[in-house]
Chain A
C-alpha cells in the first residue's frame, strides 16, 4: 500500500512553490509526480512587447542566479540575426562575468546541499565563501545580481584596470576555500554515506531524458556548450570539462566543486589576457530573421530563440532554462530510494522553477488536464498562426 507524502507547495527545501507527490511504502519511494505551473510569469509574452534593448534587462529577471547567462544567450540570439563582430575586449569581459556567476551559483548549491542534509555549518560556510564572488561582480558590473552587463554587440560599461588585482586576489582565496570544502565534503564518511550510490541516473537515462549541465556530466555524459560550440573567450583559454562517472549524487556534487576550480582558472586567464580596445560594436537595428543563442549556464544549456520581423521588438522570443530538461530525471533517480534521500535527489539538479515555468492549464480538480497530444496540437496551431502573420 502506498501513502502519499506531499512535498510542497510550501516546504523548507523548496525556495519556490512547487508540488511534488511522493508515493511511499514505509520509507521507500515507489513513484513520484511533479506538478509545475505555480509561478508562471509570462516572460516570453512580455519579451515580445518590449524592445530588444529592454529585453536584455527583462531576461535577466528570469533567474536571480543565472541572470548573466540569460542575457548573454539573448544577446547571442540577436547577434545571430545581425551577424555582427564582437570586439575582443567585450568577449573577455562577458566571459569573466559569466564565470563569476557560475562560481556563485555552484557555491550557493553547495550551501543548499548542506542545508538539505541538515549540515548547517556547510550551509553557512558555503554562503560566506560566496560573498567575495558577489563583491567581485559588484566591483566589475556595479551589481551583485542582475548585472545589466550584456547588450547586443558587446557589454555596456568598461572596467577600470585598477579593480583586477582585487579580483585576482579574491579568486586565489576562493580557490583555496573551494579546495578545502572539496576535501571536507569528499573525505567525510558521513557525507559520503549520504551521497554515494544515492539517486542513480545511468548514462543511458541521462541521455534519454536529455539532461544538461552538471546533471549530465555527473552521469558521465561529456557535454558542455563552452567546449562543444565555443562562444566568448572559451576557445582561447585553457580549461577542462569536468565529467564524473559515478552517476549518483556524489558525482554531481564533485562535478560542481571541480568546475568551480576550473572557473577560477578561466577567470584568471581571461584577466591576464584581457585585450584593450572598444567594448561594443553598435547594433543599430535588427533585420528580419531568426537567431539562436545557447550558452552553458551554471545548471546546463540555456537556449534562446528570437524571431525578428524587422521592427524594434521581437516577434517571438522563446527561452528554455536547463531545469526544464533536468526536472524529469528526478523520477528514475528517486524510485526505490528512501524519503530522506528524495529531497536531496530533487535538489541535486539545482532546480530553478520560476525559470522553467510554462503555462499550465488546470482542470477543476486542480490537476493539469491537457495531455501531450493536446499541447502538440496547440503548438502546431500557434506556429501556423505565426507563419501566416509573417
Chain B
C-alpha cells in the first residue's frame, strides 16, 4: 500500500507531472529568451510561460460544433499522462539504488503517445485545417519513428550483455565510460537530435502546426485549460527528451556534487542545439521532411547500427 502511494506521489509530484512541467516550462522560457536574443528582441521575463499557463487555466474551453467531445478533450490528457510516466521512469532509473527497472520499449512507446494524442484530438475537432495538421503529424510520425528506434537500439547493441533495461545501460556506462565516446553512438545521437526536433514540432519540422499555413494546425481548436494541457505537454517533452538522450548516450543523470552541474550542462547543450536549429531554419514541406527522415536520416541510423555491430 505504501509503495502504491509513493508511486502515485512519484507520478504526480516528483519526478512526474509537477516537477517535469515546472522544469519544462522553465526550459521553454530559456528557448524563448535565447530565440529573442538571436532575433534582436528583448524576450519575456522568466515567469512568462507559467503566467501563460495560469491565464489559460482561467479561460473557457470552447468545443467546436460537430466535434467529438470525449476524444477532443481526452486526447491531450493522454499525452500529458504519457510524458509524466516517461519522466518518472527516467528519473527513478537514474536515481541509482531505487531498484527501479526502466523498460526501453515502454519509454519509446510512451514518447509517441503525445503525437498520437494530437492526431486524435485534431481529427476529433472537425476543423479542416486541424485535420490537415493531423494528417501531416501522422506522416511525420511514420517518417521519424524508424530512424529514432534504430538510433536508440544502437545503444542497446553497444552495451554488453545486450539489454533493453534502462538501468543496465546506465550501469554499463558507469562502469565503462559514456556511450557517446564511440563513433556509432555519436551518429545515433545526431539522429536522435534530428528526431527530437520533429518530436517537439520545432522548426524546420513544425509542419503540423505551421502558423502561417494552418493557423496552429493540430492545436487550432484548443482553448483554455485544454490548450494549457497541450502546451504543458510540449514543454514537458522539451525536458524529457534531452533527459532520455542523456540517459541512453551520455552517462545518465548524476544528482550529487559536481555530477549535478555536469548534468545541467549536458541538458543545456542539448536544448541549445535544438533552439539554434529552430532559429536558423525555415519550415520545410511535409514531403521534404518525410523524404529527409526516410532517406538520409534512416541511412545514417543504419550506418550507426552497422558500426555498433562491428564494434566501433
Contacts and interface: CB of A to CB of B under 8 A. Distances in A.
A194 B282 contact: yes
A230 B287 CA distance: 46
Nearest to B283: A118
B128 A12 contact: no
Nearest to A128: B40
Contact of A340 (B128, B203, B285): B285
Contact of B213 (A6, A125, A128, A339): A339
A115 interface: yes
Nearest to B38: A121
B211 A338 contact: no
Given A118-B203, A120-B39, A121-B39, A339 B132 contact: yes
B215 A194 contact: no
A119 interface: yes
A6 B214 CA distance: 10
Contacts of B128: 3-6
B132 A190 contact: no
Interface string A159-187: 00000000000000000000000000000
B132 to A, nearest CB: 6
Interface in A203-254: none
Nearest to B39: A124
A117 interface: yes
A11 interface: yes
A190 B283 CA distance: 8
A187 B214 CA distance: 27
B143 to A, nearest CB: 14
A3 B39 CA distance: 37
A125 B279 CA distance: 12
Contacts of A194: 282-285, 288
Interface in A82-137: 114-125, 128
Given A124-B39, A340-B286, A118 B215 contact: no
Contact of B284 (A5, A123, A190, A342): A190
Contacts of B39: 120-121, 123-125
B193 interface: no
Most buried by A among B38, B40, B41, B282: B282
Chain A residues touching B, majority SS: helix
B212 A119 contact: no
Contact of B212 (A24, A26, A115): A115
B286 A27 contact: yes
Most buried by B among A26, A27, A338, A340: A340
A372 interface: no
B215 A190 contact: no
B287 A338 contact: yes
A6 B286 CA distance: 20
A13 B285 contact: no
A136 to B, nearest CB: 20
B281 A119 contact: yes
Interface residues of B, number: 30
Contact of A116 (B132, B207, B212): B212
A343 interface: yes
A190 B40 contact: no
A60 interface: no
Given A119-B281, A128-B40, A339-B132, A12 B286 contact: no
B40 A27 contact: no
A271 interface: no
A121 B34 CA distance: 12
Interface in B189-210: 203-204, 206-207, 210
Most buried by A among B40, B128, B285: B285
Contacts of A296: none
Contacts of B136: 27
B118 interface: no
Interface string B62-105: 00000000000000000000000000000000000000000000
Nearest to A27: B286
A190 B280 CA distance: 10
A115 B212 CA distance: 8
A148 interface: no
Contacts of A13: 212-213
Given A124-B40, A128-B40, A119 B132 contact: no
B282 A340 contact: no
B35 interface: yes
Interface string A49-68: 00000000000000000000
Interface string A10-32: 01110000000000101100000
B129 interface: yes
Contacts of A125: 39-40
A25 B73 CA distance: 28
A119 B213 contact: no
A190 B285 contact: no
A11 B210 CA distance: 12
Interface string B262-298: 0000000000000000011111111110000000000
Nearest to B35: A120
Interface in B229-282: 279-282
B213 A343 contact: yes
Contacts of B212: 12-13, 115-118, 343
Contacts of A26: 135
A191 interface: yes
Contact of A341 (B40, B214, B281, B285): B285
Given A124-B39, A340-B207, A11 B284 contact: no
Given A27-B286, A339-B132, 7 more contacts: A12-B211, A27-B136, A27-B287, A118-B210, A120-B35, A194-B288, A340-B213
27 contacts: A12-B211, A13-B213, A24-B132, A27-B132, A27-B135, A27-B286, A27-B287, A117-B212, A118-B211, A118-B283, A120-B35, A121-B279, A123-B39, A124-B39, A124-B41, A125-B40, A128-B40, A188-B282, A190-B204, A190-B281, A194-B284, A339-B132, A340-B283, A340-B285, A341-B285, A343-B212, A343-B213
What are the 5 tightest A-B residue pairs by CB atom distance, in nearest-first order? A118-B283, A117-B282, A124-B39, A119-B282, A13-B212
